[in-house]
Amino acid sequence: MVKAVYELNEEQKRDLASIFGEGVNFKKKERHFYTHDVGSLPPVVKTFLGNTQPAAIVKIRDEEQAVKLMEFARKYEIAIVPRAGASSGYGGVIPTKGGIIADVTPMRKIISIDKENMKVTVGAGIVWEKLESKLNKEGLAAQAVPSSAMSATVGGWLAQNGLGYGSYEYGWSQDTMESARVVLPNGEIKDFKGDELQKIVGTMGTLGIITQVTLKVRKLEKTAAISAKFPDATSMQKAIELVRERKVPLWSVSFINPEWAQMKNRAPPKTHYGE
């Protein structure tokens, strides 16, 4: 059982800095940015969580560093919280026991592209949008991507699990993935393949640090966005059933009801990018 640790002692800081050098950060201001994810939890939930400030942040650049961090954590009985894009909004990367944030975003390389077998192996920290862009240049595309593809990572979607654009055709996140490499808490590196992949799906990083993922890909095809309006849910259901019966290629489908549409129309425009 790990202890709640919100500050490291001087010996622990020296030990951690000797391993990771500039890749470790103890500054309180920097640590504050890791007390939450992209969303804001309700105040009542925050009250139950209590202190969520990590004791340190470590940028994990490769699998070897992930192993060393696990060894450090075992030595001092400190919690490790893997973190990537933090785009889920459900609090899965919040360090409720402080400990050390293992930021895996530096592991973002494309390790190999296998066109013959239609798969790609990538570092778990690669952002979906960056991966898709590089695949497109090779005449390939991801089978499915999360709706937060601009910031979400491949490893994060496996750890979170879910549906996204392309899931109508290809299924849940893990259905589009062939295998994953994980550094377990005991420092062992394990490959999860086939049915074993289910053991880490949706575990939110509690079983280890995902370092590498092999994905299934598809040929890049021209797609078009089509909008349609239906008088009721039954009509929409019949339309989708007809699409399936006639084998119309449909990569993804989304819908909103009238009440949701009205709220979206009343909401102020997003100005994240000054537009």
On whether both 179 and 214 belong to a single domain, the answer is yes
CB 201 within 8 A of CB 173: yes
Give the 3-state secondary structure percentages of the chain, helix then strand then coil, rounded to 5: 35, 20, 45
Mean pLDDT of 62-66: 97
In a domain, 52, yes or no: yes
Mean pLDDT of 164-183: 93
What pLDDT score does 272 carry? 53
pTM attached to this predicted model: 0.87
Half-sphere exposure of 266 (CA within 13 A, CB side): 6
pLDDT, residue 205, reads 87
Q: Please state, in angstroms and rounded to a whole number, the distance separating the CA atoms of residues 133 and 135.
A: 6
For residue 270, what pLDDT is reported? 62
Q: Domain boundary residue among 57, 74, 103? A: 103
Domain that holds residue 22: 10-103
Count of CB atoms situated within 10 Å of the CB of 34? 21
The H or E element spanning position 13 is: helix 10-20
More confident residue, 21 or 39: 21
pLDDT at position 271, please? Answer: 57
Q: In this structure, what DSSP letter does residue 269 have?
A: P
pLDDT more than 90, % of the chain: 68
Last residue of a domain, one of 175, 194, 219: 219
Summary mean pLDDT of the chain: 91
Contact 62, 105 (CB under 8 A): no
